[in-house]
Amino acid sequence: MILVLGGAGYIGSHTVKMLCESGEEVVVADSLATGFKQAVHPKAKFYKGDLRDREFLDNIFKNEKIDAVIHFAAYSLVGESVTNPLKYYNNNLCGTEILLESMVNAGVKNIVFSSTAATYGEPERIPIMETDKTEPTNPYGETKLSMEKMFKWTGNANGLKFVSLRYFNACGADESGKIGEAHNPETHLIPLILQVANGKRDHISIFGTDYPTKDGTCIRDYIHVTDLSKAHILAVKYLKDGGKSDIFNLGNGIGFSVREVIEMARKVTGHTIPAVEAPRRAGDPAQLIASSEKAKKILGWKPEHDSLEEIIASAWKWHKNHPDGYK
The residue sitting closest to ligand UDP, measured at its beta carbon, is 218
Say if CB 56 and CB 50 are below 8 A apart: yes
CA 48/CA 116 separation, integer angstroms: 25
Least distance CB 167 / ligand UDP (angstroms): 9
Check 10, 75, 140, 167 and give the catalytic one.
140
- Sign of the CA dihedral 229, 5, 1, 115? positive
Stretch that binds ligand UDP, among 152-160, 187-195, 224-232, 243-251 (CB under 6 A): 187-195
Stretch that binds ligand UDP, among 183-191, 265-273, 291-299, 305-313 (CB under 6 A): 183-191
Cβ neighbours of residue 97 closer than 8 Å, sequence gap 6 or more? 150
Least distance CB 237 / ligand UDP (angstroms): 28
Contact flags string 284-323 toward ligand UDP, x per CB under 6 A: x---------------------------------------
Stretch that binds ligand UDP, among 1-9, 91-99, 201-209, 227-235 (CB under 6 A): 201-209
In the chain, which ranges are continuous DSSP H helix? 10-21, 54-63, 78-83, 85-88, 95-106, 139-158, 189-197, 225-240, 258-269, 293-294, 308-321
Buried-state track 119-131, b at ≥16 Cβ within 10 A, e below 16: bbbebeebbbebe
Contact flags string 71-100 toward ligand UDP, x per CB under 6 A: -------x----------------------
Say if CB 98 and CB 69 are below 8 A apart: no
Residue 75 is among the residues annotated as catalytic for this protein:
no
CA 209/CA 192 separation, integer angstroms: 18
Say if CB 172 and CB 226 are below 8 A apart: yes
Does 189 sit near ligand UDP (CB under 6 A)? Answer: yes
Stretch that binds ligand UDP, among 17-25, 28-36, 205-213, 248-256 (CB under 6 A): 205-213
* Cβ count within 10 A of residue 106: 16
Contact flags string 235-274 toward ligand UDP, x per CB under 6 A: -----------------------x----------------
The site for ligand UDP (CB under 6 A) is made up of 78, 169, 187-189, 192, 204-207, 218, 220, 258, 281, 284
Residues forming the active site: 140
